[in-house]
Homo-oligomer: A and B are copies of this chain.
């Protein structure tokens, strides 16, 4: 099958477009309208076979996650999705694989209301790069540098589930998982960034970041760029019942702080916004928890507190190239 037919067949599924796609797939570039008084936001993430997913992960899950992790970056800005491009390197043309991959991609495209607008298919080791585009009201993006003194620090959903699930993937190949384990594995395979909630949150919050590298590492970026410090109440970390059931409270806290791959949001906002944020979260069926406060002493410092005493975490946030 020729490249063009292949792309046509598997990547031209029907899509929920937002009316902003003027020309989609099929020309040298896609053409989009960016609504008046809005700015464009863009981000890119690559998933590599054996690094970001297991080689035998279901193609539909790989596809879903490839888009979800990028939509998570749009959510962190409070952006409305406009479209995404997909660059995929494939070792060979495997129609069954492509069909399954395409179905997972289509599901994510529908779930997050973001259309596929362009792509590139090449021969090579399995590598998937998604570039997302979105729009924000001019100068209203939630930036890492905009946290303010005394802001509450919030987290959406639960953290730590995905990290705990890493160890479950192999187990699932040889034996049945219990209900809690299956839940955790699903959290790893199918991230669900709170994109519609985040779009409205941009009016209420000062700063935000998505939790992809672990809460401490990612909150650290807010502290660095906002030149401030923070106090985190370990007892307030949002941990799922399933996580505690599977790994125990202590390990659950470690995964929540340093685990990564959660694709939830960490954001900061004024005290006076508390009720509005809680109401918004209820409207969008998103869990939110206040876990700490932005401070200005010892800039960059992250103070962890449990029952009024300092809490010592085992290791710093995740890095791609660790020493």
Residues of A whose CB lies within 8 Å of any CB of B are: 1-4, 6, 22-23, 26-34, 36, 39-52, 72-74, 76-77, 79, 82-83, 85-89, 93, 117-125, 127, 129, 131-134, 136, 138-139, 141, 143-145, 208-210, 225, 319-323
Say whether A32 contacts B39, CB under 8 Å: yes
Say whether A51 contacts B123, CB under 8 Å: yes
Q: Considering only CB atoms, which chain B residue lies closest to A40 in the complex? A: B32
Contacts of A42 in B (CB 8 A): 29-30, 32, 83, 85, 117-118, 131, 133
Say whether A144 contacts B320, CB under 8 Å: no
Contacts of A26 in B (CB 8 A): 144, 225
12 contacts between A and B (CB under 8 A): A1-B321, A2-B322, A26-B144, A28-B208, A31-B141, A33-B39, A34-B40, A42-B83, A44-B131, A46-B88, A48-B123, A123-B320
A77-B31 contact, Cβ under 8 Å, with A23-B143, A127-B124, A321-B1:
yes
Q: Which of A23, A79, A139 has the most CB of B within 10 A?
A: A23
CB-contact partner of A29 in B27, B31, B79, B88, under 8 A: B79
Q: Write the nearest CB–CB distance from A265 to chain B, whole angstroms.
A: 10
Q: Write the nearest CB–CB distance from A194 to chain B, whole angstroms.
A: 13
Q: Write the nearest CB–CB distance from A15 to chain B, whole angstroms.
A: 16
Q: Considering only CB atoms, which chain B residue lies closest to A6 in the complex? A: B321
Say whether A129 contacts B77, CB under 8 Å: no
CB-contact partner of A85 in B31, B131, B322, under 8 A: B131
Say whether B27 contacts A321, CB under 8 Å: no
Q: Which of A3, A22, A42 has the most CB of B within 10 A?
A: A42
Say whether A122 contacts B46, CB under 8 Å: yes
- Complex Cα distance, B134 from A154, in Å, reads 36
- Complex Cα distance, B48 from A129, in Å, reads 13
- Complex Cα distance, B145 from A129, in Å, reads 28
A323-B2 contact, Cβ under 8 Å, with A28-B76, A40-B133:
yes
Say whether B43 contacts A30, CB under 8 Å: yes
Q: Write the nearest CB–CB distance from A317 to chain B, whole angstroms.
A: 10
Q: Considering only CB atoms, which chain B residue lies closest to A90 in the complex? A: B321
- Complex Cα distance, B40 from A138, in Å, reads 16
Say whether B32 contacts A41, CB under 8 Å: yes
Q: Considering only CB atoms, which chain B residue lies closest to A133 in the complex? A: B42
Q: Considering only CB atoms, which chain B residue lies closest to A320 in the complex? A: B3
Contacts of A41 in B (CB 8 A): 29-32
Say whether A28 contacts B131, CB under 8 Å: no
Q: Write the nearest CB–CB distance from A65 to chain B, whole angstroms.
A: 14
